[in-house]
Amino acid sequence: MTNKASLEERIGQWRQYLRRRQAVHSADVAELEDHLRSQIGALREAGLDEDEAFLVAVKRLGDLDTLSREFAIEYSERLWKQLVVPSGGEASSPTDLRDAALAVGLAVAAGVAIKIPHLFGLDISGPSANMSFYLRALAFPG
């Protein structure tokens, strides 16, 4: 079910989104894109794959920039809607669960600062972002 769009395609979607909204100067978009790519690079170095790095980078940029936050919310909502929960009660694949967890995590994160994992003493903001927290927190109905 995973979105097969390449990293470049996704960055392109993000860039198009920003350029179309209001009057964002292309220079500002270029500056934000450099920031996005730097963040992606750092997350990949920390061990995240392309999907994960893009999602987290978009979320973090969303904390700093209003238009990017709108993109982050829409993107995570779209991811969530793309998930098909089987009606026959079959188990979702691990990839489905991981993407769902990421989408839910981002939707929450994009709206408010994440405090829940901190209560459990987990680091979710550093390079060693503990994604498995969301996997454990996510419960699919049977």
Shortest Cβ 121–other proteins spacing (Å): 14
95 binds other proteins (CB under 8 A): no
74 binds other proteins (CB under 8 A): no
Over the window 6 to 45, marking each residue x when it contacts other proteins by CB under 8 A and - when it does not, the resulting string is: ---------------------xx-xxx-xx-xxx--x---
Over the window 101 to 120, marking each residue x when it contacts other proteins by CB under 8 A and - when it does not, the resulting string is: ------------x-------
Write the single-letter amino acid at 121.
G
84 binds other proteins (CB under 8 A): no
Binding site for other proteins (CB under 8 A): 27-28, 30-32, 34-35, 37-39, 42, 63-66, 69, 113, 125-126
